[in-house]
Amino acid sequence: MLYGAMKVSVGGPLKMIFRPWVEGLENVPAEGPAILASNHLSFSDSFFLPAVLDRKVTFIAKAEYFTTPGVKGRLTAAFFKGVGQLPVDRSGARGAGEAAIRSGMDVLERGELFGIYPEGTRSPDGRLYRGKPGGLARVALATGAPVIPVAMIDTEKIQPPGQVMPKIMRPGIRIGRPLDFSRYHGMEHDRFVLRAVTDEVMYEIMKLSGQEYVDIYATAAKRQIAEAAKADKEAEKAARAALAQAERDQAKKEKSERTES
């Protein structure tokens, strides 16, 4: 009931204001379990995709959205629950992966749609990064549910980091044909199989999205970007300090010359 209310109150205005275009909607089954594996460009991805689907889709979200204290925290938790998000504690990588797998299997066993971002986090620069095999592939092989690749288009341009007001524009959603991995049934603990399944899904997402593919994890890319920004900041600080010292030396020299004269 809460999901339906949220779909009307949130999904309706989203579609009316942003008018997202959709291709391949017929590839989402009218009933039965399926995994929607999507690229991840923006916080809004988890809202635009459910907004265009008739069926409920459940994503996993970091536990902090559900555990923040105070009135604002309770309202945030209620909102995320209402839009079909499940909390997952990401404090430990292994624990987070197991929690995501259990959550996904529970959703699929109920015959529902499970949404997951194989990259594990939002892309830091709009490119498509290497998929993490732990969640997506294991859930797919353990449940036998088809995997439907999804590409979110231009959602990162609606509200880039640091921008308060969203830009009113039309994002896009491309939904590919379901992928069947039944040939790997019972092999969900084989890391080579998990890697192969994940790479096949990421390849389909790349074809749908047109993104440049980067064969490293997005989390590693974010660390590199943060380290580069820190190095640039330190270099800028050092340059300012050197300039200030040069100005002091010059002033001291000029003062000495005036004294001698």
128, 231: one domain:
no
Q: What is the 3-state secondary structure (H, E, C) of 83-146?
A: CCEEEECCCCHHHHHHHHHHHHHHHHHCCCEEEECCCCCCCCCCCEECCCCCCHHHHHHHHCCC
The string of pLDDT tens digits covering residues 238-248 is 878 878 887 88
206, 223: one domain:
no
pLDDT at 228: 75
The string of pLDDT tens digits covering residues 147-189 is 999 999 999 999 877 777 889 999 999 999 999 999 998 898 9
144, 246: one domain:
no
The string of pLDDT tens digits covering residues 15-34 is 999 999 999 999 999 999 99
CATH number for the domain spanning 126: value is 3.40.1130.10
Structural domain including 179 reads: 2-214
This prediction's pTM: 0.82
140, 221: one domain:
no
Q: What are phi and psi of 115, to 5 degrees?
A: -100, 135
26, 78: one domain:
yes
pLDDT at 98: 78
**Region 194-201 average pLDDT:** 97
Domains: count for the chain: 2
176, 227: one domain:
no
Q: Which of 81-95, 175-189, 222-236 has the highest mean pLDDT?
A: 175-189
Question: Quick check: 108 pLDDT over 90?
Answer: yes
